[in-house]
Amino acid sequence: MKNRTYNILFHTHTISGIVISVVLYIIFFAGSFSFFRDEIVNWERNQSVTITDDIQLDLNTALDTLNGRYNLNGRDIEFKKYYIEQRVGVSISASKDSLASEEAKRTDFFYLDTKAYTQNTYQNSYTLGEFLYRLHFLAQIPYPFGYYLSGFVAFFFLFAILTGLIIHWKKIVSNFFLFRPFKKLKTLWTDAHTALGTIGLPFQFVYAVTGAFFMIKLLLIAPNVMVLYDGDQAKFYEDLGYSHPHFELNGETLGGNFNLNAYVERTKQMWSGFNTSEIHISNYNDTNMHVSISGHLDYGSKFNGLGEAIYKVNNNDLVFKKDPTLKTSYVDSVKNILYRIHFADYGSYALKILSFILGIISCFVIISGVMIWFVARNKNNVSLKKRLFNLRVVRVYLAVCLSMYPITAASFIMVKVFQPQTPSFIYNFYFIGWLMLVIYFIRKKDIAFINKYTLLSGSVLGLMVPVANGLTTKNWIWSSFANQQYQIWFIDTFWLILSFITLWIFLRLKKSSK
């Protein structure tokens, strides 16, 4: 490679990395915790559920209950399991009957408890797990700006990965095994950046591609909708498989003599190991009532085993079948693979833990890249004014990024102490607390202090998380394990292990500074 080309790629890699570094760190840090979103939510609610994508719900009882609260006749009702928790999302359409009351023509969406059949809005279902999950794609910024910002950051991160791979290609193997902690500071940061960047390269590449796809796909598909579909979004999404078939309302009452649980069982009998993740009912209690059962096979048997069965209730006929044991379509394969590899929900806890570790490694790669940039410019041949400016920039950067650890740990404690919590409570505590920590660490004007005491404060607060859970719920870590409430036990254990590791790092840093 010519020197000019190398220098262009090197500076492009550096600049693109520096520009997106803070936002990228936030995305990876929050995203690492998002791998345990479901566990965090169940820990907050002191609930433990079966770890399955299958809807665990008595459909007949649920519909009878809802029919007592709504007039479901002539409506479309959808049950969808979004996460591994004791609630499913329920969408109720407006009645298709032209003579229906104004109340029956209103749509509704809520979460239904699968055991108590209580309804919850999105607001009173909000949790810290949901907050961290949404923070990793900046959803707290008004739509669509946060989505697009995170998408373009992921896109430029992909660009930084590719340019970094090109400039290190010739020495990527030799430099991977090279670590010189006793050399000058820039050498230490460079070796750590290269080695950890190489370890996390496949992980980072996957998340750069899928993150960009999810967040800016609307911008990518808009030209296709306008050109190929003449602006018909409904037809476009139907071809992509995001909508259900439409069935007209006959206007004749079916009589209510139907067993909807039987259709779920019938579908599972057709395909062994089938998980029902979505149930869509068209024209409830009408003679043209149809029930759609959608889901997938266990990932262990087939990764892309997406299936669907549609029944006409009036005569119990199977009118449509998409066999998950057969070859999956290209569109379904692409959609499913992108979602599964991004959320890492197709494996056991080992996959989630590995993904979390790689996410934190990515955070360190981002920090080390910034430190390389700083040390390289902290030389005598650079004017004092520029060096002081660079120092202030790095102090602000480290204060913003590293303060996420203690404020996240503190938030876990607060959601246990103050229950029930609202979105505004979580927002205010997390963001105001984060801002206060950032201001405090910036005012210390000491990079070493920021590094050490974000670790120390995060470690101490993290050790208090299982204590807060035990004091508020009486469900101590040994009790949850004995009662086989493994999701609750996992979060308590996770914080203990993470806190001890970061406390050990703090003690090592303190010892090395003497």
Digit-coded pLDDT (tens) for 80-114: 999 999 999 999 999 988 888 888 889 999 999 99
What are the backbone dihedrals phi and psi of residue 140, each rounded to the nearest 5 degrees, phi first? Answer: -70, -20
| The pLDDT of residue 86 | 93
117 phi, psi to nearest 5 deg: 60, 30
What are the CA-CA distances from residue 7 to residues 3, 10, 65, 163, 253 (Å)? 6, 5, 68, 11, 74
**35 compared with 198, residue with greater pLDDT:** 35
Rounded-to-integer distance, Cα 182 and Cα 229, Å: 62
Answer for the pair 491, 485: CB distance below 8 angstroms, yes or no.
Answer: no
Regarding predicted confidence, which is higher, 488 or 366?
Answer: 488
Token pair in block for residue 179: 């670590």
What is the arithmetic mean of pLDDT over 500-504? Answer: 95
The DSSP H or E segment spanning 88 is strand 87-92
Q: Are 249 and 97 in contact (CB under 8 A)?
A: yes
pLDDT at 390 over 70: yes
Are the C-beta atoms of residues 53 and 277 closer than 8 Å to each other? yes
Q: What is the mean pLDDT of residues 46-71?
A: 92
- With 70 as the cut, is the pLDDT of residue 180 above it? no
Which pTM does this prediction carry?
Answer: 0.89
Domains of the chain: which residue ranges? 1-43+125-240, 59-113+244-298+300-341, 377-514
Asked if 163 and 16 touch (Cβ cutoff 8 Å), the reply is yes
pLDDT in tens, 196-252: 777 778 888 889 889 988 888 766 665 665 556 666 566 656 656 667 888 999 988
Angle of helix 404-417 versus helix 37-45 axis, rounded to 10: 30
Give me the pLDDT at residue 120, please: 93
Q: How much is the mean pLDDT over the chain? A: 86
Instruction: Specify whether the CB–CB gap between 324 and 271 falls below 8 A.
Output: yes
Please, which pLDDT band fits residue 263 given cuts at 50, 70 and 90?
Answer: very high
The answer on pLDDT for 484 being more than 80 is: yes
Q: How far apart are CA 88 and CA 375, in angstroms?
A: 51
Element (H, E) at 452: helix 447-473
Residue 83 tokens, joined: 């996460």
Mean pLDDT of 114-134: 94
The answer to whether residues 84 and 56 touch, using CB atoms and an 8 Å cutoff, is no
Query: Residue 385: is it exposed, middle or buried by C-beta count within 10 angstroms (0-12/13-18/19+)?
Result: exposed
Measuring CA to CA, how many Å separate 114 from each of 65, 77, 92, 233, 485?
12, 16, 17, 34, 18
Instruction: Say which residue, 338 or 192, is predicted with more confidence.
Output: 338
Phi, psi of 224 (to 5 degrees): -65, -40
